[in-house]
Amino acid sequence: MGLFTLGIEEEFQTIDPETRELKSHMSKIVEGGKTILQERIKQEMHQAVVEVGTNICENIQEAREEVTYLRRMLLDLAQKQNLHIAAAGTHPFSDWQHQLITEDDRYNKLIDEMRDVARGNLIFGLHVHVGIEDRDDAINIMNQARYFLPHIFALSVNSPFWCGRNTGFHSYRAKVFDKFPRTGIPEHFKSAAEYDSYLNLLIKTGCIDNGKKIWWDLRLHPFFPTIEFRICDVPMRVDETICLAAIMQALIAKLYKLRQQNLSFRTYPRHLINENKWRAGRYGINSKLIDFGKESEVPYNELVDELLDFIKDSAEELGSTHEVNYVHEILKNGTGADRQLKVFEETNDFNAVVDYIVNETKFGL
């Protein structure tokens, strides 16, 4: 991957149109899609989860075309199996205990090690890769980008319900995934060599067999020259996915530019950033986050405006200003979690929430 190229992966729910429950039927969809989509469609541990991923995209416009195409193809494949596709971080009421597990050595080993932590990980995320060739550059940029993770996360929150309960969180997906080891905000690393030393220690001591089992919210991908954002719930709409990807790309480009000028954004320790991540997951864009420089709480809208101002020049250079500015639509209309909660408040009906998610997943296609 070249500098600031993009790769986007989205995880979707397979839905029974009659019951609105998750349907463990992913294998048939993947089998039907392999001829056309090849490696762009993948199985996951749960049979009710299907993942699609773009090719390497040179710019955000190409990424939009790919994401739109993949959603269209997935909807068509699902329709042939009499299924719906839904994009949300959790299903509003289906229980993980009722879902089938994909028969695969990798998943069998994971379940053997983690038991119900793995079985219960029935969640759906958005992963965005941004190309960075030099690993020391990537570590330096990752250290700085960590501060902005809660700001981006808050825009994506789309999982307020779990097993038929209103959890009180705008992203309960994040709380479910926190049960896994090696998750959350990454530590600060001085260099790629220090990171490699950490990685090699985990492999040597049998904690992991490769770097893919480091599941941080932001990581150096172990096999591709990318920084991978993993913190976000999968959004309902293509527009939301592309907005988030554009912000991530522009942020990495901005921090790279500063590094070329021997400048940098201030880095903060993990325990402070975690305070903002908690608030973002609990309240979404309705939160106050902490401005650590000012040592004060600041309304989310003000901090996201500062983020947009910070990346403005990079977005212009990347040709993604329009996509980045979709943030204002999210602030006006609410996140996926806000909208799910509104539907449930109006109907008191989880089926209506599922129907809403299914329809929103098709929006703009």
Number of domains into which the chain is organized: 1
Mean pLDDT of 70-93: 97
Which pLDDT score, from 0 to 100, does residue 28 have?
A: 82
Question: pLDDT, tens digit, for every residue of 121-171?
Answer: 999 999 999 999 999 999 999 999 999 999 999 999 999 999 999 999 999
Whole-number mean pLDDT of the chain? 97
Q: Is the pLDDT of residue 1 over 70?
A: no
Whether 307 is covered by a domain: the verdict is: yes
Q: What is the CATH number of the domain that holds 298?
A: 3.30.590.20
Kindly state the average pLDDT of the residues 172-199: 98
Residue 17's pLDDT band, with cuts at 50, 70 and 90, is very high
Question: What confidence score (pLDDT) does residue 27 get?
Answer: 84
Tell me which of 34-38, 238-242, 286-290 is least confident: 34-38
- pLDDT score of 37 more than 90: no
> pLDDT at position 188, please?
98
Question: Do 139 and 220 meet the contact criterion of CB atoms below 8 Å apart?
Answer: yes
Is residue 227 in some structural domain?
Answer: yes
Sign of the alpha-carbon torsion through 111, 114, 115, 121: negative
Q: Is the pLDDT assigned to residue 77 strictly greater than 70? A: yes
Gap between the Cα atoms of 275 and 282, Å rounded: 11
Q: Is 220 left (phi over 0), alpha (psi -120 to 50) or beta?
A: beta
Q: Residue 62: inside a domain, yes or no?
A: yes
Q: What is the DSSP string of 9-72?
A: EEEEEEE-TTT-SB---HHHHHHHHHHHHGGGEEE-SBTTEEEEE---BSSHHHHHHHHHHHHH
Name the residue range of residue 44's domain.
6-361
**Residue 346 above 90 pLDDT?**
yes
**Does 161 fall in a domain?**
yes
Contacts of 365 (CB under 8 A, 6+ apart): 68, 71, 72, 75, 238
Dist CA 29 CA 13 (whole Å): 12
Q: Is residue 345 part of a domain?
A: yes
Query: Is residue 89 domain-resident?
Result: yes
Q: pTM score > 0.75 for this model?
A: yes
pLDDT higher at 96 or 36: 96
The model's pLDDT over 290-344, given as tens digits with 9 standing for 90+, comes to 999 999 999 999 999 999 999 999 999 999 999 999 999 999 999 999 999 999 9
**1 domain-assigned:** no
Residue 166 has what pLDDT?
99
- 75 pLDDT higher than 90: yes
CA distance 268 to 250: 20
pLDDT > 90? residue 240: yes
Write down the pLDDT at residue 163: 98
Mean pLDDT of 233-248: 99
- Answer yes or no: is 253 within a domain: yes
| pLDDT score of 205 more than 70 | yes
Percent of the chain at pLDDT > 70 equals 100
pLDDT digits (tens, 9 = 90+) for 38-66: 889 988 999 999 999 999 999 999 999 99
